[in-house]
Chain A
Amino acid sequence: AQTVTQSQPEMSVQEAETVTLSCTYDTSESDYYLFWYKQPPSRQMILVIRQEAYKQQNATENRFSVNFQKAAKSFSLKISDSQLGDAAMYFCAYRSRLRTGKLIFGQGTTLQVKP
């Protein structure tokens, strides 16, 4: 069975600084997808960024980028130029290519942004 682990329950960053959230996963599959979701205090979960395992190039979405290390089974999220609106809980998630739709989530990391 696949598992996703986020070992940092809480992180904090100064506004305008850069922060990296860690995620590791375990799978025997070679083809899968990885995601970072954001859950602001209002609780509506939204997708931040996605990565396809067969792509070597790291995904980027504006100030958000990932460091995908397939051999190490690591998928970290880097937030550059942090803003107050980035404060939220962040979840790393895994999806098998073969099992459409089903996501496996990590435990979550609460990010605090200090002004």
Chain B
Amino acid sequence: DVKVTQSSRYLVKRTGEKVFLECVQDMDHENMFWYRQDPGLGLRLIYFSYDVKMKEKGDIPEGYSVSREKKERFSLILESASTNQTSMYLCASSVPSSAPSTDTQYFGPGTRLTVL
């Protein structure tokens, strides 16, 4: 089974702090994604990466950056956390393919971040 793990289930930080959210997958997937989930808004893509050291902005990249130094690890960075970044953050990974049968996204359990 594919396993996607996230470093913390719950995290509390203060405004202005630098925050690192880590995601690791064990299936050698090329694609990795960071979403935030907010009530009434669903999941929104922050950044994704299709290879080591490659990244592309999603729909809401402002205030975030990412790092992918190794294939299995994709980090989300909040340079200076703000209260409006309080949210659930979900990481996902997939094998790149033009067909959906092999393009299933596997999700981690999520990190509930609270910024005070």
The interface of chain A, by Cβ under 8 A from chain B, is 4, 6, 9, 33, 35, 42-47, 50, 52, 91, 95, 97, 100-108
Q: Are A107 and B41 in contact (CB under 8 A)?
A: yes
Q: Are A102 and B58 in contact (CB under 8 A)?
A: yes
B95 CB, nearest partner CB in chain A, Å: 9
Chain B positions 83 through 114: 1 when the CB is less than 8 Å from some CB of chain A, otherwise 0: 00000101010101110110111011110000
Q: Beyond A35-B100, A47-B104, A50-B100, is A102–B48 a contact (Cβ under 8 Å)? A: yes
Q: Which of A6, A45, A46, A100 contacts B103 (CB 8 A)?
A: A100
Q: Confirm or deny: B13 has a beta carbon within 8 angstroms of a beta carbon on chain A.
A: no
Which residues of the partner chain B approach A100 to less than 8 Å between Cβ atoms?
A: 31, 50, 96-98, 103
Query: In the bound complex, how far is the Cα of B31 from the Cα of A47, in angstroms?
Result: 17
Compute the total of residue contacts between A and B using a CB distance below 8 Å.
59
Query: In the bound complex, how far is the Cα of B45 from the Cα of A47, in angstroms?
Result: 17
Query: In the bound complex, how far is the Cα of B88 from the Cα of A94, in angstroms?
Result: 21
Which residues of the partner chain B approach A103 to less than 8 Å between Cβ atoms?
A: 43, 45, 105
Count of residues in B whose CB is under 8 Å from the partner chain: 28
The interface of chain B, by Cβ under 8 A from chain A, is 31, 33, 35, 40-45, 48, 50, 58, 88, 90, 92, 94, 96-98, 100-101, 103-105, 107-110
Return 9 A-B CB contacts under 8 Å, by A number: A4-B42, A6-B42, A46-B107, A50-B101, A100-B50, A100-B96, A100-B97, A101-B96, A105-B43
Q: Are A107 and B109 in contact (CB under 8 A)?
A: no
Query: In the bound complex, how far is the Cα of B48 from the Cα of A45, in angstroms?
Result: 17
Q: Are B98 and A97 in contact (CB under 8 A)?
A: yes
Query: In the bound complex, how far is the Cα of B39 from the Cα of A108, in angstroms?
Result: 8
Q: Which of B43, B94, B107 contacts A101 (CB 8 A)?
A: B94
Q: Are B109 and A105 in contact (CB under 8 A)?
A: no
Q: Which of A42, A47, A52, A108 contacts B105 (CB 8 A)?
A: A47
